[in-house]
Structure 1
């Protein structure tokens, strides 16, 4: 038997300052979580900060840029939340106090499909063009591409090769990158080394890593483990007429067959393992504060 200890499962106690750092993974409902945090900042009296929208998002930073980011966040008034698309950043190696790390993950295959159609949605280009008028319009043939054909024909965009590295936020196969860190060793796709480093960061540094497919458990754990910031999260998300679950919903995304999803899954074994690891940890955290005896069978 294994005893579940909520104290051991809660890395919030390791934080050296009352600042939440949400280094958000794209296409995991992070826009929704960002709006949730904005509303909670009013309700729970903390400051809300997010990185400015950029033409090219740099998620893997050099040492100097990592330190600059850590210093910017450390200089925020407490309590605050800071949100940015960026890899896990170790504050303590710069002799700075650790923030309260949080993030959200999503089924890796659904996430890749979501990104594929998100960047082809008409409103996406309207927003990008408004923010950056100099951006060229995309190739119509690229816009018309569908995921099923892309996978079945071996299109480079939908070929997910083991160990391949790719820079930039436009490559969404590697959810683990956001937890592994900034090192080049974190860039190869679907490798054991990246998986283990990402799992270690989650287990040792992150207070909560939520799961898009299990929002009720996610909100419950956030409310219990980081109450200063997330008190009332469930009520804010589900309450009122202005629903949060429609943010960034893409009505232009067609269904993808299970057959094609299964083809893609074969190359996402370690990304899927990481996602399942995060789900299991979230449920352990939930059980640790909800089960009367807090004991589970060891598996």
Structure 2
């Protein structure tokens, strides 16, 4: 092929290529309008969806800051030391409200999200009460409310002695027996938390009461040394040895100073639980890890269990808040609880033993160190209780 012929051929190819490149394909006018409308619609919906996602992310950022298992995004360790000045009353109702407000969480606080009662598959309350938390007072109140609100209350037979953990067979036997009870009803027993679904039974409504861990163990110390209580213990368990006069006469303060074993040695290696020092145990369950005293791992497991499973964990240390939360979150059982309680509050204050609560500085320092994670768990539970109260009643107390 000659040079001129080759150039002519290449020009023809380029002309054909350009013809295809720039050729316009005609579309009907209506189709063009439809495509334009679809493009505008997609752009609009993408904008709206992105804006909504951005709002949700901000909301979740507020709700989830910064600890997975902390009722307010703070743990007991976060509110100690130099932070105490910033949140000096964080563990009160007012302090909790102010913290939620200042961090933007108050706006998104929703009682429905804090209420585990609707998650229950069984119209039945399992109150696995902790010792020395006023559980007999709560049991008496429950009995009285049962008469008013139309449910039955049951309580276990007091056993001479029992192990710190229940076996799977023990758990199975318990849930089998409870399944025979009528509904609606409340069952009360000193027991560790039981996972009913693991035994193929519906989930009940879980409730409990707590108390400051140090005050709880002081109360237990003097309670067990009360002559009448000790005599009753001997009657239930004849094999129990008689104690010396020193056992009854030594104050708790002096007992701790002398580190009298096993009663007043509060380290994590001491297996003693005769004073029910393990606040986490009943709320944790029957796994071996739940027996560990003042353990961070046990504390975190228990926090998660309280958050996910318990409808309400209250305290007589804040009676009005506790009863108000029970009324709001479990109304079928606790409707009118405050009216009933305050109509004759002395009637519900039972099984109390007066005792000296004074602690020397070195004793208190030792106990606070020994109970550090138990105290953090207690504060977490109280913060959760206050949060539930604020969510349910925040429109009723503008003064806060």
- Same fold? TM cut 0.5: yes
- Alpha-carbon shift at residue 254 of structure 1 (Å): 1.9
Matched, 1:263 2:374: no
Instruction: Please point out which of 292, 310, 313 is paired with 1:209.
Output: 313
The aligned counterpart of 1:189 is 293
The aligned counterpart of 1:231 is 335
Instruction: Please point out which of 261, 274, 286 is paired with 2:389.
Output: 286
- Alpha-carbon shift at residue 48 of structure 1 (Å): 0.9
Matched, 1:20 2:125: yes
Q: From the CA coordinates, give the structure whose radius of gyration is larger.
A: 2
Tell whether the 8 Å contact from 2:129 to 2:191 is kept in structure 1 after alignment.
Answer: yes
- Alpha-carbon shift at residue 148 of structure 1 (Å): 0.8
Counterparts of 1:144 and 1:293 in 2: how far apart (Å)? 50
Matched, 1:173 2:277: yes
1:86–1:127 Cα change, 3 Å: same
1:131–1:174 Cα change, 3 Å: closer
Matched, 1:100 2:205: yes
Counterparts of 1:293 and 1:197 in 2: how far apart (Å)? 34
Counterparts of 1:44 and 1:195 in 2: how far apart (Å)? 35
Structure with the larger RCO, 1 or 2 (CA within 8 Å, 6+ apart): 1
Tell whether the 8 Å contact from 1:89 to 1:181 is kept in structure 2 after alignment.
Answer: yes
- Stretches of structure 1 that go unaligned for 5 or more consecutive residues are 295-299
Counterparts of 1:291 and 1:241 in 2: how far apart (Å)? 26
Counterparts of 1:284 and 1:47 in 2: how far apart (Å)? 30
Tell whether the 8 Å contact from 2:161 to 2:237 is kept in structure 1 after alignment.
Answer: no
Deviations 1:233-259 (A, max 9, x none): 1122221385212x01212x1232252
Counterparts of 2:313 and 2:205 in 1: how far apart (Å)? 11
The aligned counterpart of 2:37 is none
The aligned counterpart of 1:297 is none
- Alpha-carbon shift at residue 128 of structure 1 (Å): 3.0
The aligned counterpart of 1:46 is 151
- Alpha-carbon shift at residue 263 of structure 1 (Å): 2.3
Partner SS state of residue 190, structure 2 = coil
- Counting helix residues as a fraction of each chain, which structure ranks higher? 2
Instruction: Please point out which of 124, 135, 142 is paired with 1:37.
Output: 142
Counterparts of 1:241 and 1:177 in 2: how far apart (Å)? 29
Q: State the TM-score, normalizing by the size of structure 1.
A: 0.91
Counterparts of 1:68 and 1:100 in 2: how far apart (Å)? 19
1:133–1:158 Cα change, 3 Å: closer
1:118–1:171 Cα change, 3 Å: closer
- Alpha-carbon shift at residue 129 of structure 1 (Å): 4.2
Partner SS state of residue 114, structure 2 = coil
Aligned-residue RMSD, C-alpha = 1.9
Matched, 1:89 2:187: no
Counterparts of 2:196 and 2:255 in 1: how far apart (Å)? 40
The aligned counterpart of 1:249 is 352
Matched, 1:116 2:212: no
Q: How many residues align?
A: 290
Matched, 1:145 2:145: no
- Alpha-carbon shift at residue 176 of structure 1 (Å): 0.5
- Alpha-carbon shift at residue 261 of structure 1 (Å): 2.5
Q: State the TM-score, normalizing by the size of structure 2.
A: 0.69
Counterparts of 1:82 and 1:60 in 2: how far apart (Å)? 19
Partner SS state of residue 243, structure 2 = coil
